[in-house]
Amino acid sequence: MATERTLSILKPDATRRNLTGKINTLLEGAGLRIVAQKRIQLSRAQAEGFYAVHRERPFFNDLVTFMISGPVVVQVLEGENAVQKNRDVMGATNPANAAEGTIRKTFAESIEANSAHGSDSLENAAIEIAYFFSGIEIVG
């Protein structure tokens, strides 16, 4: 397995409830290193751009409205098999289906307000990291 980088977002439901530290404890505990991080307020256009692949999904407008409802923490995680590892620690999209101990099982409010985002492939990770960070902002 190779060292990878993936994009993680702590969503507005997590910042609102002051859970960023608790969530990052789970990520760091799994061996993922936070090598870039910033707290930002997304504009509607920025959120739409990030989730462009979901444009045709019925939940797209609600998702964008949720993602701009408060600040998010965008971060780059680095580690062995980081893309899949982050997904494993997050758990299933719907917290009702997420495994015990995962971020979403522990913290998510709903299938939409599910506390964390993680890139779903190495290819998308590179695209998503570049959406938020320049090379000099990532310190491994």
Q: Which is nearer to ligand ADP, 7 or 35 (CB)?
A: 7
Q: Of these partners, Mg ion, ligand ADP, none, which one is at the site of residue 131 (CB under 5 to 8 Å by kind)?
A: none
Give me Rg for the CA atoms of the chain. 14
Classify the C-alpha dihedral 55-57-58-62 as positive or negative. Answer: negative
| Residue 63 is a binding residue for ligand ADP (CB under 6 A) | yes
Shortest spacing between CB 86 and Mg ion, in angstroms:
11
CA distances for 124 relative to 5, 39, 57, 102, angstroms: 11, 21, 18, 22
> How far is CA 74 from its chain centroid?
7
What are 66's two structure tokens? 């949720």
Contacts of 99 (CB under 8 A, 6+ apart): 91, 92, 105
Catalytic residue selected from 5, 87, 104, 117:
117
Residue 127's nearest CA partner among 44, 42, 50 is 50
54 is catalytic: no
Q: Of these partners, Mg ion, ligand ADP, none, which one is at the site of residue 112 (CB under 5 to 8 Å by kind)?
A: ligand ADP
User: Which residue among 26, 30, 106, 120 contacts ligand ADP (CB under 6 A)?
Assistant: 120
**x-or-dash pattern for ligand ADP, window 8-47, by CB under 6 A?**
----------------------------------------
What is the rounded distance in angstroms from the CA atom of residue 42 to the CA atom of residue 71?
7
Per CB under 6 A, the segment of 1-9, 26-34, 72-80, 110-118 that binds ligand ADP is 110-118
For ligand ADP, the binding residues (CB under 6 A) are 54, 59, 63, 93, 111-112, 114, 117, 120
| Residues labelled catalytic | 117
